[in-house]
Amino acid sequence: MARAIFFHDREWTNFHSTIRDVPIAGRYELHNVSPQATLDRMAESAAALQALIGKAFAERRRLRAQGSGWSFSDAAAVPGGWSLSTGYANYLFPLPPTHVVAEYDGDREGLVLCQTGVSISELNMFLEGRGRSLATTGASNGQTFVGAMSTSTHGSVIDQPAIQGQVVGLQLIPGPDRNLWVEPASNPVTDGRMAAGLGATLVRDDRLFAAALVGLGGLGVIHAVLVKSVPRFLMEMHRDRVPLTEAIRAAMTGQGFAEADLPGAGGQPYFFQSVVNEHIDKDHAYVTAGYRRDWVEGHTPDYSRRNKRGPGYTLATVVSHLMEAFPGLTPPITREVIADQLNPIHGKIGSWGEIFDFTTPRTGTAASATAVPIERTFEVLDIFHRALEKKGPAPVGFACRYAVKSPGLLAFQRFRKTAIVDVDGVDTRATRAVMAEAVASLRAAGIPHAEHWGKLNQTTATSVRDAYGNDLEAWIAARTDLLDQDGQYVFGSAFLDRLEMTSASW
């Protein structure tokens, strides 16, 4: 039988070590009984999870699933509670097209049921080996799919929503005696047989589905998601340091690519990223353009980089300590690191899973991301550079990626065309000061924005209300309708309490 195994851990630290030594009451791991995925075995796993949730209810203990622990923020932390590691619960189960309702208007081929601990890297390999592909992911695929979905990881494609835009149904466990299969009523997918096989009750509810897509762990534990895929394709990647021309600026603000002299073939790319750092490389940008290409028969994906930790794993920590002691080193070190990480690429070909393969997190790094309307990209970059001038020097770089408005009441990609401005760097006091100043200045300027839940952020109860408005009220209402008093406590967290989205009161 599937089981939840207890470990007497008393502290929790996230994968990037930006949140350290959180006191916890213990850690559980959810384990499958066999490597062979079947609906019966997934039902056993759900039952084991329900039993653990029942224990949490009985002992008044908060419980939080944590996936890969990839979030830089404390969104996954559960002070005083039980952490639940899901990585061993990684079944993948292709849904037979015969189980799809006739009125479903999507591609019924390639629907895959993914258990809670499946990593994006695992899913890439599973799909691509069967002639399918994800349409988008983040650019780092060590996260669990469910964890990335639940924090609205921002995606990598200019005309696609974030990662949760590929989810068409989900299994939600909100209590010891409730096991729900949730689909949108406006676009139902399955005919009920899969839900029955999982031991779940089929629920079609637009609001609950939209709330659970970016649920932040606050509605229960998501045990599985049904993911839609597309026929597999190849990416042709190019990257160069280029002059920051008006045409590049126009592309970065959503005005099209017709005049932009992008690296590679030119024209509209599928993936577009620009790294602009006026403080160390004035009037230039590192531009990455990826073009979608038809699959070539005989292409064999190479996933050899997967799960490797090179000898530089702790280098960022060493560098951060060095720069704390000698801040004058910051600009030249930052310039060299960016140039090394963004070396030229000319015509690299690979599947989606090859191009965006498992990337190793490095201790001592820090990252934040803020979504803004695309037309305001350079206003935001100017504000961020002024924050660096005020609080620096700091070992940070600024990068822009793009997505469209994404499903989920709490998706931080809230704008029809969204620019996501990343602040990435070595985790020093100066870096965090720049991040805080950047967001404070953005608020003062009155620019609409929302912050990435899973990266270092400056969210407050007020800023979340300002960013999400009626969607936040709908999320809270869905949670209140779904959960009884026990569930509202158990699936809360200090992170959500601080934002007044949950309460520590029993």
Which residues span the domain enclosing 445? Answer: 234-459
Report residue 456 as tokens.
């270092």
Report d(CA 50, CA 174) in Å as an integer: 9
Number of domains in the chain: 1
Q: Is residue 19 part of a domain?
A: no
Could you tell me the two tokens for 48?
Answer: 């084991």
Classify residue 335: in a domain, yes or no.
yes
Which residues is 82 bridged to in the sheet? 26, 63
Nearest by Cα to 265 from 230, 238, 234? 238
Mean per-residue pLDDT pooled into runs of 10, the chain (506 residues): 94 92 98 93 97 98 92 95 96 95 93 96 95 88 91 88 97 98 98 97 98 98 98 96 96 95 90 90 93 95 60 51 69 74 89 78 81 98 96 90 96 97 91 97 98 97 98 98 97 98 89
Give the integer Cα–Cα distance in Å for 365 and 359: 13
In angstroms, the CA 34 to CA 28 distance is: 18
Say what the pLDDT of residue 505 is. 85
pLDDT for 306 = 47
Residue at 488 is within a domain = no
User: CA distances (Å), 261 to each of 125, 168, 264, 345, 375, in order?
Assistant: 33, 38, 9, 15, 20
In a domain, 317, yes or no: yes
pLDDT of residue 32: 96
| Residues with Cβ within 8 Å of residue 170, at least 6 apart in sequence | 181, 182, 209, 212, 213, 222, 224, 225, 226
CATH of the domain at 310: 3.40.462.10
The values of phi and psi at residue 382, to 5°, are -65, -45
Q: Does residue 453 contact residue 486 with C-beta atoms inside 8 Å?
A: no
- Distance CA(454)–CA(38), nearest Å, equals 32
Which segments within 26-79 are labelled E, that is strand?
26-31, 63-65
pTM: 0.94
- Which value, to the nearest 10 degrees, does the dihedral of the CA atoms of residues 309, 311, 316, 322 take? 170
Residue 425 lies in a domain: yes
433 within a domain of the structure (yes/no): yes
Confidence (pLDDT) at 307: 43
pLDDT at 312: 42
In a domain, 199, yes or no: no
pLDDT of residue 224: 98
Could you tell me if residue 496 is inside a domain? no
